[in-house]
Amino acid sequence: MDIDTLCLCALSFEPATGYDLKRRFEKVYSYFYVAGFGSIYPSLARLAKDGLVDFVATHGPGPRPRKEYRITPQGTAELRKRLATANPVHRVHSDFLLLMLMADQIDPVRVDALIDERMAQIRAQLDALNASRAEKPVARPGVEFVRDMGETMLQAAAVYLKTHRKALVSALEAERDRQTPSS
């Protein structure tokens, strides 16, 4: 599933500018997808060229017109077709876990700080999720399913980190002391 399909999915909920999409991705979608401007704008241009979306241009701020994109009937049909054949790849790419795996090669103080940072990210994502829940309700069952699953997973991660961080850092400090006894 490429960015084009992702944009099509997002536009199937409601019209948006490229800028809007970026921020929407940061809210509801941030748990399982990321995309920057450098991907979104070329994607919207491709989709418009293929007639899967169209747009109304107004003269917003800045030198170029503000373009509000909408999905077209062809776009909806094409989206359905893609959703019917896509395969459900799911992958986690975590430098955080790789760092934790290598924790004994890192300063214990930094390991502790890394866990703090990760927990802050998790909290931020949970806040974004709850914020999107407070917005006008969407009558499509997938939204709630995905949102709740995201919340479940994020909370599980938070609980794990909270209850296991001490044991990890203690073990690292004990090992360090064994190698360079301070007394």
Site for DNA contains 97 (CB under 7 A): no
**Buried b vs exposed e over 50-62: b needs ≥16 C-beta within 10 Å?**
eebbbbeeeeeee
With respect to a second copy, which residue has the nearer C-beta, 2 or 58?
Answer: 2
* 159 Rama class: left (phi>0) / alpha (psi -120 to 50) / beta: alpha
CB of 79 to a second copy, least distance (A): 7
The residues near 77 (Cβ < 8 Å, ≥ 6 apart) are: none
With respect to a second copy, which residue has the nearer C-beta, 67 or 165?
Answer: 165
**Residue 54 contacts which entry, a second copy, DNA, none (Cβ below 5-8 A, type-dependent):** none
Site for a second copy contains 136 (CB under 8 A): no
Site for a second copy contains 148 (CB under 8 A): yes
Beta-bridge partner residues of 53: 71
3 state DSSP class of 16: strand
Question: Do 58 and 66 meet the contact criterion of CB atoms below 8 Å apart?
Answer: yes
Site for a second copy contains 37 (CB under 8 A): no
Pick from 65, 69, 61: which is nearest to 16 by CA?
69
For residues 108 and 173, what is the distance between their CA atoms, to the nearest angstrom? 7
| Site track 39-78 with a second copy (rule: CB under 8 A), x = hit | ----------------------------------------
With respect to a second copy, which residue has the nearer C-beta, 16 or 100?
Answer: 100
Question: Do 37 and 22 meet the contact criterion of CB atoms below 8 Å apart?
Answer: yes
**Given the rule CB under 8 A, which of 2-10, 15-23, 56-64, 66-74 is the region that contacts a second copy?**
2-10
Residues that bind a second copy (CB under 8 A): 1, 5-6, 9, 12, 29, 31-34, 79-80, 83-84, 86-107, 110, 114, 117-118, 121, 140-143, 145-146, 148-150, 152-153, 156-157, 160-161, 164, 167-168, 171-172, 175
